Amino acid sequence: MTRVAVKVAYTGRGFSGSQIQPGLRTVESEILQALVRTGGGMTAEDFDLRMAGRTDAGVNALGNVASFVTGFDDPERMLDALNAVADGVFFLSWAYVDDDFRPRHAVSRTYRYTVSSEGLDIERARECASVFVGEHDFIRFCRPDGKPTVSTIDSVEVTDDGETFDILFKANRFLWNMIRRMVPAIVSVASGRSDTDKVRRALDGEDITFGLASAEGLTLLDVEYDGIEFKGYRSPTAERRLAELKRGNALERRFLESV
């Protein structure tokens, strides 16, 4: 038996978040079911499944990390098997890790939030985004859950493709709802409804809030670790599933454009 870490992708739609919750379909429960179905008699407890962190219902991921014990001696065959049985989760890459590896202990996490750029000024958005960089008390920009609210953001970048703004956040850790509360502040400033001084006052502790952005626009892009390099593998089973989903989405798009 060996322990591996794998990067997984999923859309948040259809899952009640990533963390196991009794009676609900979650990303973690779907991964665990896939492990049991391909594990050759191993029980759910045998896999000692660990996740890099939780994502809320509706939040997407392109690079969340799961770690577990496996009896497969060929990691690519393992990914093929998991991709063949998992529903809504794609297994993209792998790395051997030590038994004491904890996916939560990452050196950085990168998230992307996508918003329509209509009516927004990118320079104002970038000016506001820069306010969040560095160490701050994010008590006004999170949903407190008993954890320390002082955190450090390494970078916030805003790019424009002509139709949308992609806002990239990179940090070691993020608080609950943190990005979904920073994004409305950036949008408010970019639209001219607010200014960066108001955002700074909120960071300084003034009782100011900017609302909560929807979960659907948020994607966990990547989780990184010191000394661990993941090996990508284009699983044929995953490729077939993706092709089917793309065909279905194209048909749905054509229907909606015809309404």
Catalytic residues: 56
Q: Judge whether 116 and 29 are in contact, CB under 8 Å.
A: no
C-alpha distances (whole Å) from 21 to each of 11, 24, 33, 57, 212 are: 18, 6, 14, 12, 23
Ramachandran bin of 34, using left for φ above 0, alpha for ψ from -120 to 50, beta for the remaining angles = alpha
Place of tokens 């990452």: 106
Calculate the dihedral angle through the C-alpha atoms of 207, 208, 212, 218, rounding to the nearest 10 degrees.
-100
Residue 47, Cβ density class (10 Å: 0-12 exposed, 13-18 middle, ≥19 buried): buried
- Read off φ and ψ for residue 100, nearest 5 degrees: -90, 10
Helices (H), 115-235: 122-131, 178-190, 196-203
Distance CA 58, CA 94 (A): 25
